[in-house]
Chain A
């Protein structure tokens, strides 16, 4: 493992609870800058919970809390002085099911920038074009920006959601199984897009598709449930290492399809 890579985020002995239930147990994991980190593992192993704690989306679940710490550029995102809104501006998120808002394509993209007080039309126009280009959607929609985002195909909707997420120039992009609701061709386009995006953003992606993790990611974290049904990190390494010479027997069993 290359230790000299710049660290963007880091979890330290992170445990996530829903009320009394421990969903994630003691995960310590680095997220390297401008790399794609994939989190894989069988259903219910806490990979989505881990991802959603990275921009404090779990705060929305009543009764959820954490132990341990999550650092963004060396600072805890749970510090008293840190505004959750700022965490979410710097750490964007793309969801499993495409979720365009019930408004035009244009308004979907500028929704974020407007939240932070950007009002000038010329600036917003520019953000719309650059974000849609960044999400490889510009050519498809440049003539129908006033149309509803809900009228697009599933794959286009997901790219619109990526455009919406990068419109506020986040530093980290979290993706929660972003292609699992899409057909194979749309999936391929999202995967190509992820390769483009990592030049500007640090990406963490949850997937239960191992081939996808092998194709798109630089680092892979493999998680599993322990006896108390809490998700634990089994192994973290460079993706080729995880998929060719894993150190843990459980990782090898999983990637060779013996369970999961």
Chain B
């Protein structure tokens, strides 16, 4: 060992160098954040500016007017999107949760491995291919496009997203919780439903939100399955059904079996039409689409925050 190791070293120079490098790297990360956030804010602000003009109550509650005419709304697309996303959720979420639990317990069996593999494959299939598949399976046999067919292909898009995120979240639940429940004599089924699911709920809901956001924005698969329908109006179907004494099943059938419009479909169609009114409306549709996703996210977060506040008093 030398007498004084630091006597030879110009310490102020070393410290200055370190400060410099620190400042440079810090600036770089700042630039990276700006590069990531600016396009996002830009899109949101731009869509707001272009879309705000056509948004009024009529836009939400009226069907489209004839081409080239002023006014009218896109209630057909809003309702169609809600109906199809509901159908997709009702089918995909329970199925995906069951599959996630299967993966949690039986990941190492051949069926578990097959499930995992096919889930990854399904997540990678381009949505237009899923649309074509839906066309062959849910449209051709019934000889017409429908909300149900649209909902089913959206379910197929949601499935892998929810399965993988739910599985990851369930894996994070400490194994002591599961053992604690089983040690009291509970079945695996009861343990899964009463202990594991609530413990992982927060993460699962985040995954479901991601899946919903994806499903709401899908256009290509709906071209093959829902097609579009400028007269789609659930309220009209219910009114007519009640007036002609139809059963609940008949009304539901009408809602689900008609060709249906959706927000992204309408956006895509309107944006390429030669009428300036329609092009303006397509911006409005884009804005509604964005707000719907935003609203879903805020709603889920608020619900979770309330739940957390309640349980921790």
Contact = CB atoms under 8 A, between A and B. Distances in A.
A104 B185 contact: no
Contact of B185 (A62, A148, A168): A168
Given A101-B177, A115-B190, A88 B183 contact: yes
B274 interface: no
Interface residues on A, range: 20 to 34
B182 A57 contact: yes
A164 interface: yes
Contact of B180 (A95, A144, A147, A151): A95
A89 B183 CA distance: 8
B194 A99 contact: no
A223 interface: no
Given A99-B174, A101-B177, A101-B195, A112 B184 contact: yes
B141 interface: no
A93 B180 CA distance: 8
Contacts of B181: 101, 111
Interface string B122-133: 000000000000
Contact of A93 (B183, B187, B198): B183
B185 A151 contact: no
Contacts of A23: none
B194 A97 contact: no
B177 A168 contact: no
Contacts of A164: 180, 184
Interface residues on B, range: 20 to 34
Interface in A95-133: 95-97, 99, 101-104, 111-112, 115-116
B251 interface: no
A148 B184 contact: no
Q: Which of A55, A99, A103, A115 has the most CB of B within 10 A?
A: A99
B179 A95 contact: yes
A57 B185 contact: no
A185 interface: no
B198 A115 contact: no
Nearest to B195: A101
Interface in B256-313: 311-313
A62 to B, nearest CB: 8
B105 to A, nearest CB: 10
A146 to B, nearest CB: 8
A150 B312 CA distance: 8
Interface in B157-203: 174, 176-177, 179-187, 190, 194-195, 198-199
A202 B185 CA distance: 19
Given A99-B174, A147-B312, A148-B311, A165 B198 contact: no
A115 B186 contact: yes
A178 interface: no
Contacts of B182: 57, 60, 88
A80 interface: no
Contacts of A50: none
Interface in B55-106: none
Q: Which of B180, B186, B195, B312 has the most CB of A within 10 A?
A: B180
A165 B182 CA distance: 11
Contacts of B108: 62
Given A85-B185, A88-B184, A112-B184, A102 B198 contact: yes
Given A147-B311, A148-B311, A57 B199 contact: no
Nearest to B197: A102
B311 A104 contact: yes
A144 B311 CA distance: 11
Given A57-B182, A102-B195, A148 B312 contact: yes
Given A97-B174, A99-B176, A102-B195, A55 B311 contact: no
B189 to A, nearest CB: 12
Contacts of A112: 184-185
A144 B313 contact: yes
Interface string A154-174: 000000010011001000000
A251 B144 CA distance: 82
A231 interface: no
A172 to B, nearest CB: 12
Contacts of B176: 95-97, 99
A99 B180 contact: yes
B313 A103 contact: no
B171 to A, nearest CB: 16
Contacts of B184: 88-89, 92, 111-112, 115, 164-165, 168
A111 B194 contact: yes
- Sorted nearest first, the 3 A-B pairs with minimum C-beta distance are A148-B311, A99-B176, A93-B183
11 contacts: A95-B179, A101-B199, A102-B198, A102-B311, A103-B194, A111-B186, A115-B184, A116-B185, A148-B312, A148-B313, A164-B184
Interface of A: 55, 57, 60, 62, 85-86, 88-89, 92-93, 95-97, 99, 101-104, 111-112, 115-116, 144, 147-148, 150-151, 161, 164-165, 168
Given A88-B184, A101-B177, A115-B190, 6 more contacts: A57-B183, A89-B185, A101-B195, A104-B311, A111-B184, A165-B183
